[in-house]
Every structure is written in structure tokens, then in C-alpha cells.
Amino acid sequence: MAILYRHQALAELAAPIDVRGAFINTGAELDGLAAVARVFDTARQFIRIVDPYLDQTAVTTFAVLAAENIAVELLSDTRTVRPNLEPMARAFGNQHGATRPLSLRLAPPRALHDRLIVVDGQQVWSVTQSLKDLAAKDRLRRL
């Protein structure tokens, strides 16, 4: 398995900057936020965040990274979503309105497993842990 990881790392180093993943060291919260911000900066229409364990940080830490007029779509799981997400998403919409569109949808229980960031329906990034725990574990990858 180590050989596969080594070759993946070498391939990413040789790849153009816009298709590289990011390795986020445990505890490197700023690096994690910067990696997500770089992904968000490529959006021209929308960013969809899929994470069954979303909480208010999806709004307060991540949605605020999106540029104005870029729609942010949050998709979480009705069983595992944190109760503080819905009021925070509503408050965000009330404050920002159409200049920073944000929507929240909840999937049926256990319908979601993976955590993804989808940009303009063209790029998909796999996040290996919930965004609320970014930098508590390790990496963000492009698929």
C-alpha cells in the first residue's frame, strides 16, 4: 500500500496546480482552510458540499469562503446532521440574501456516506473526514 501512496504523491507533484489534491497534516487547521479556499476559488456558478455530518461550521467556516454570487448547496443526512446547522443556514440566508445564495437539503437516513465538494458540476473533491473535523485527520483529494 505504501508504494501506491508514494506513486500517488509523485503523480500529484507532477500534475498541474489546478488538479492537485492537498495533504493536510493533523492539527494544521489553517492549511485545511486554505486548501478548501483554493477549491472554492475555482467556482464560477456553484459549490455543493456533501457531508452526512454537517454542522454550523459548514456555514460559519466554509460557506463564507465562497465568493459572492456563487451558490453554496449543502447536502447532509437527516439522521446525522447536527441540529445547529439549520438555524445557522437560515440566518446566513436572511443576512446575505441573493448575493450569497445558500441552500440546505437533507437526504434520507444513511443515504450518504462520502464527503464531497463539487464545483460547478465539473470537479469533484473527496474529503476523507467531515468538514467539521478538517485537520483533525488527513487529506483532501480530487477525483
Summarize pLDDT for 16-56 with one digit per residue, the tens: 555 556 666 677 788 888 889 999 999 999 999 999 999 99
The whole-angstrom separation of Cα 139 and Cα 116 is 12
The whole-angstrom separation of Cα 18 and Cα 102 is 25
Element (H, E) at 51: none
Question: What is the pLDDT averaged over residues 104-117?
Answer: 94
Percent of the chain with pLDDT strictly greater than 90:
60
pTM here? 0.80
Domain boundaries, the chain: 2-142
Write phi, then psi, for 77 (nearest 5 degrees).
-105, 135
**Type of residue at 77:** D
DSSP for residue 20: -
3-state secondary structure of 27: coil
The residues, any chain, with a CB within 8 Å of residue 136's CB and separated by 6 or more, are: 26, 27, 129
Which is nearest to 76 in space by CA: 121, 117, 119, 111?
A: 111
CATH 1.10.1760 fits 2-142, yes or no: no
